[in-house]
Structure 1
Amino acid sequence: MKNHNLRKFKRPRLLIVGCGDVGMRLLPLLRPHFRVFATTSQPSRCAELRALGAVPIVADLDQPASLRRLAGLASHVVHLAPPPAEGPLDRRTRNLSAILPEHGRLVYVSTTGVYGDCSGLLFDESRPVAPRNPRALRRVDAEQVLRRWAVRAGAQLSILRVPGIYAADRLPLKRLQAGTAALIEADDVYTNHIHADDLAAIIARALFRALPNRIYHAVDDSDMKMAAYFDAVADAFQLPRPPRLPRAELQKVVTPALLSFMSESRRLANGRIKRELGVRLRHATVADALKGLTSSSR
């Protein structure tokens, strides 16, 4: 018992900031290697986090005073918290950067939206960012804030640019049931995907294997347009496929937020996560994942 407690004490500390769905999937992968602390802004979630082996800490990235107890707590950090809903800056990441450790290691989960519209081109991590909406601007701001911290603190930063995350409980079933329209083929956009379990595995590998101050595309092997994705989910769950409309008509019937997602077309190469992190995707494509979901439910 003493040796077990000693090993537990000697394990490096890791802090998960914003431990939502992906963080909960990540916890079992990290517990053997770290003593894990996880923040939540909801005290009611503490028992849930504790049950999965994390030490819960109530903290709010919008309240800098609540972050002071995090200073110096852990040498490794996974930043999963989203930016605020408004404004051009990510104030939350700016508040967090004030308490990040010297010479630490941080994995930041960003978004592929930082590239803006790429007209369906296939590209790797060398492409410059070109954000087109406030949400993406806030992500670029967060990346820049963390880059400055890494230089100033002599730390190692890994940025994972992540597309649409899906899982069994993260599929557009309500949208399909509501009959929300999709774009016709000629107007449609390419989208990128990653299963939540694969994303958790990529984050874990980045903590151990990522090169310093490196960007990675955390995307799967799918190569499909948005309406094809909706069709695939509809077929798998025996739901009607969504109607197709030209862009000029669709913009009259969907929200501006939804339209912004349907206005950016890009395909991201994922060779770097395979070469440098040794990632082997459990769900290589959306089609593979849907087959597994439907077969397990029969």
Structure 2
Amino acid sequence: MSIGLAPHLFCFGLGYAAETLARRLLDEGWRISGTTRTEETLASLRVLGIEAHLFDRARPLADIDALLSDVTDLLSSVPPDAAGDPVLDTHGAAIEEAPALRWVGYLSTTGVYGDTGGALVDEHAPLAPTSQRSTRRVKAERAWLDRPWPEQVAVQVFRLAGIYGPGRSAFDHIRAGDAKRIDKPGHVSSRIHVDDVATILRASMARPERGGIYNVCDDDPAPPADVIAYACALLSVPPPPLISLEQAAKEMSAMAASFWVDNRRVDNTRIKRDLGVRLRYPDYRAGLAAILSATARVESASNS
């Protein structure tokens, strides 16, 4: 990277997590550009000051070399499809040749570990995905890590647990009337607040490591039913009754049902040890309380 070159992040897939990181970096004076699939999102991103472009496998970026000419950091949150990774398949060579590039992050999922029966997994655990979706992620991780990157480029993989945050939490399901408390004894899942995702990615950008793989989750794997019950308590509403997984599955999509196949606890030691991260929301209780408090402040300001 040239001396004095302003930092520039390019995001393939400016979704929930990537946009949260982008907003933070805009506040730090970064230039942000990236892609989305819809005209509606394109317009909203440009309002924020993000240079957004339409992209998917069927719509590759025509001027990719120019778009990446001064990009220093690149993040991909685009999921793989049946044919492979759309970003690498269409623009992998251009990304490798981006002259200022130093850091690449790929957002994967803890689903690559599969079902451990509730046992703890760290980044060295064997990968045993139980769904086609997670199997594709395993292949995509290898595709990103195994490309012949220039020596100065550090590529990392981030295995994310379920992301929640403002506008995407248990509160939203409760208010919509579709929250369920499913009784599956011994079943736990890991999660992570979207603000902590941004913190972890930012820490990695400051300490780039070639081939680094990081679990991205909080300190408290917990039964999903407990999360719903706690959110209800914060809202001072009665929690929905416990129902069996078999009963709940009758109304679930195939994707929703797949999340109940895997039971595992995810170890987040490495993000703290190697990246120096201190989670702002170490468990769902802290995260939900903060979301509710922020919502109350916004409503109070709008009513004043």
Which residue, out of 89, 112, 136, partners 1:114? 112
For residues 76 and 295 of structure 1, the distance between their equivalents in structure 2, rounded to whole angstroms, comes to 33
Instruction: Please report how far the alpha carbon of residue 233 of structure 1 lies from its aligned counterpart in structure 2 after TM superposition.
Output: 2.0
In the TM superposition, 1:158-177 aligns within 5 A as: 158-173=156-171, 175-176=173-174, 177=176
Residue number in structure 1 paired with 2:301: none
Residue number in structure 2 paired with 1:38: 34
Residue number in structure 2 paired with 1:258: 256
Q: 1:242 to 1:277 in 2, by over 3 A?
A: same
Residue number in structure 2 paired with 1:81: 78
In the TM superposition, 1:111-150 aligns within 5 A as: 111-149=109-147
Q: 1:101 to 1:92 in 2, by over 3 A?
A: closer
Residue number in structure 1 paired with 2:300: none
Does the Cα contact within 8 Å between 1:94 and 1:145 map onto a contact in 2?
Answer: no
Q: Which amino acid aligns with 1:79?
A: S
Residue number in structure 2 paired with 1:99: 94
Instruction: Please report how far the alpha carbon of residue 109 of structure 1 lies from its aligned counterpart in structure 2 after TM superposition.
Output: 1.0
Q: 1:189 to 1:67 in 2, by over 3 A?
A: farther
TM-score by length of 1: 0.84
Instruction: Please report how far the alpha carbon of residue 73 of structure 1 lies from its aligned counterpart in structure 2 after TM superposition.
Output: 5.0
Q: When the two structures are aligned, how many residues end up with a matched partner? A: 287
Q: 1:293 to 1:58 in 2, by over 3 A?
A: closer
Residue number in structure 2 paired with 1:207: 205
Residue number in structure 2 paired with 1:285: 283
Does the Cα contact within 8 Å between 1:94 and 1:142 map onto a contact in 2?
Answer: no
Q: 1:23 to 1:252 in 2, by over 3 A?
A: closer
Does the Cα contact within 8 Å between 1:89 and 1:137 map onto a contact in 2?
Answer: no
* Deviation digits for residues 233-289 of structure 1 (CA, Å, limit 9, x no counterpart): 222223432332333444334332221111211111111111111111111111012
Residue number in structure 2 paired with 1:52: 48
Q: Which amino acid aligns with 2:49?
A: G
Which residue, out of 24, 33, 36, partners 1:29? 24
- Point out where structure 2 has 5 or more consecutive residues left out of the alignment: 298-304
Which residue, out of 272, 275, 287, partners 1:274? 272
* Deviation digits for residues 142-175 of structure 1 (CA, Å, limit 9, x no counterpart): 11110122x3544321111101111121013454
Instruction: Please report how far the alpha carbon of residue 185 of structure 1 lies from its aligned counterpart in structure 2 after TM superposition.
Output: 4.5
Verify: 1:15 aligned to 2:10, yes or no: yes
Residue number in structure 2 paired with 1:184: 183
Does the Cα contact within 8 Å between 1:23 and 1:80 map onto a contact in 2?
Answer: yes
Residue number in structure 1 paired with 2:235: 237
Q: Which amino acid aligns with 2:33?
A: F
* Deviation digits for residues 11-55 of structure 1 (CA, Å, limit 9, x no counterpart): 143211111222222123323364322222334444433343332
Task: Out of 286-295 and 111-120, give the one that drifted further.
Answer: 286-295
For residues 154 and 217 of structure 2, the distance between their equivalents in structure 1, rounded to whole angstroms, comes to 22
For residues 160 and 99 of structure 1, the distance between their equivalents in structure 2, rounded to whole angstroms, comes to 22
Secondary structure at the residue paired with 1:64?
Answer: coil
For residues 219 and 163 of structure 2, the distance between their equivalents in structure 1, rounded to whole angstroms, comes to 14
Does the Cα contact within 8 Å between 1:116 and 1:264 map onto a contact in 2?
Answer: yes
Q: Which amino acid aligns with 1:30?
A: L
Secondary structure at the residue paired with 2:94?
Answer: coil
Instruction: Please report how far the alpha carbon of residue 208 of structure 1 lies from its aligned counterpart in structure 2 after TM superposition.
Output: 1.6
Verify: 1:64 aligned to 2:60, yes or no: yes
Does the Cα contact within 8 Å between 2:114 and 2:129 map onto a contact in 1?
Answer: yes
Secondary structure at the residue paired with 1:233?
Answer: helix
Q: Which amino acid aligns with 1:25?
A: T
Percent of aligned positions that are identical: 29
For residues 153 and 241 of structure 1, the distance between their equivalents in structure 2, rounded to whole angstroms, comes to 54
For residues 109 and 173 of structure 1, the distance between their equivalents in structure 2, rounded to whole angstroms, comes to 25
